[in-house]
């Protein structure tokens, strides 16, 4: 089976493209990092790829709001091609700043279809500070999301200043009724964060950490799975190492984040 070709976008302040590309490579994909300008110059290249990824970073320095400027550049130059990409049996992932871009493009949550109209926002953290820490998330298993299949919980890093998910009440009702929440922030014991800091690091409504499109093929998430792929990347790995040693168990190589990328690759098998 051929490895799914994965296009990882870079340029204008995106700064997580290398580790995101590496994550897809480890998971079994064939990634390529390509500048957004090169895609605009050769729009047909999108036809060659099965997975399109918007990594984390600070595109355009978050000027005019996180993700807005890059989303505007895409809408003005690539929107028809993005819609053609979505109409094929493809996947799209936005991580952190990439999630913000997807929301501004209107491709998540897209409760009324892919109209290009933004239905939600990722606002300033309630702490009004950049939050860089490890959190716990619970996967909403009734969601159609392709990327979270077979996962229950994840211990995973966040690093953002604008991750506070907001949507009007009518849109929230549609998100819930269509089961478009892919993951929520929880406490360490798995109980709901209920907006409590630091378990919910940004104040997101309903503890939302990730949403997907109605068909489950597009997901945006604030946490960084590419930064939590390996066991030794965890903030608590030394304590867990002692637990494994005392039980006589072999230390795992990978941590929770890798499964997001493996699920994307498995979709095409």
Q: What is the pLDDT of residues 143-160, one digit of tens each?
A: 999 999 999 999 999 999
Q: What is the pLDDT of residue 72?
A: 97
State phi, psi for 254 to the nearest 5 degrees. -105, 160
Query: What are the structural domains, with CATH classification, of the chain?
Result: 5-266 (3.40.50.880)
Looking at residue 104, its pLDDT comes to: 97
Q: pLDDT per residue over 56-78, tens digit each?
A: 999 999 988 899 999 999 999 99
Q: If you average pLDDT over residues 210-233, what whole number do you get?
A: 98
DSSP letter, residue 65: S
User: In the prediction, which pLDDT does 129 show?
Assistant: 98
Tens-place pLDDT, residues 73-126: 999 999 999 999 999 999 999 999 999 999 999 999 999 999 899 999 999 999
Active-site residues: which are they? 96, 224, 226
Question: How far apart are alpha carbons 20 and 52 in whole angstroms?
Answer: 11
pLDDT recorded at residue 203: 99
* Per-residue pLDDT reduced to its tens digit, 27-51: 999 999 999 999 999 999 999 999 9
Q: What is the mean pLDDT of the chain?
A: 97
Q: Given CA atoms 141, 145, 148, 149 in this order, what sign does their dihedral have?
A: positive
Q: Specify which residues 132 forms β-bridges with.
A: 159
Q: What is the pLDDT confidence band of residue 4, given thresholds at 50, 70 and 90?
A: very high
What are the C-alpha distances in Å from 61 to residues 7, 11, 65, 219, 221?
Answer: 22, 11, 9, 23, 19
Count of CB atoms situated within 10 Å of the CB of 85: 19
Cα 203 to the chain's mean position, in Å? 18
Looking at residue 39, its pLDDT comes to 98
The two tokens of residue 134 are 């490890």
The residues that bridge with 210 in the sheet, in sequence order, are: 183, 221
Q: At residue 1, does pLDDT exceed 80?
A: no
193-213 pLDDT tens trace = 999 999 999 999 999 999 999
- Residue 129 is given by DSSP the state S
Q: Hey, which residues does 183 pair with through a beta bridge? A: 139, 210
Q: What is the pTM of this model?
A: 0.97
The more confidently predicted of residues 263 and 2 is 263
- Given this model, what pLDDT does residue 84 score? 98
**Mean per-residue pLDDT, 129-149:** 98
């Amino acid at each position: 089976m051929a490895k799914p070709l994965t296009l990882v976008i870079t340029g204008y302040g995106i700064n997580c493209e290398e580790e995101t590309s590496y994550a897809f490579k480890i998971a079994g994909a064939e990634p390529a990092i390509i500048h957004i300008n090169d895609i605009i110059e050769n729009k047909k290249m999108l036809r060659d790829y099965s997975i399109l990824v918007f990594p984390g970073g600070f595109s355009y320095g978050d000027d005019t709001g996180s993700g807005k400027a890059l989303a505007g550049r895409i809408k003005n130059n690539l929107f028809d091609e993005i819609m053609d990409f979505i109409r094929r049996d493809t996947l799209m992932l936005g991580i952190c700043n990439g999630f913000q871009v997807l929301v501004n493009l209107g491709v998540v949550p897209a409760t009324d279809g892919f109209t290009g109209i933004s239905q939600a926002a990722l606002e300033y953290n309630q702490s009004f500070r950049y939050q860089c820490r490890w959190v716990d998330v619970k996967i909403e298993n009734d969601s159609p999301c392709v990327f979270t299949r077979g996962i229950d919980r994840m211990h995973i890093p966040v690093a953002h200043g604008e991750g506070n998910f907001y949507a009007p009440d009518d849109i929230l009702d549609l998100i819930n009724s269509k089961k478009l929440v892919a993951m929520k922030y929880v406490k360490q014991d798995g109980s709901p964060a209920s907006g409590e800091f630091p378990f919910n690091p940004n104040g997101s409504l309903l503890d939302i950490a990730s949403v997907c499109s109605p068909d489950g093929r597009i997901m945006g998430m604030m946490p960084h799975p590419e930064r939590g792929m390996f066991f030794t990347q965890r903030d608590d790995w030394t304590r867990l190492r002692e637990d494994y040693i005392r039980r006589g168990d072999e230390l795992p190589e990978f941590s929770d984040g890798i499964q997001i990328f493996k699920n994307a690759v498995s979709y095409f098998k």
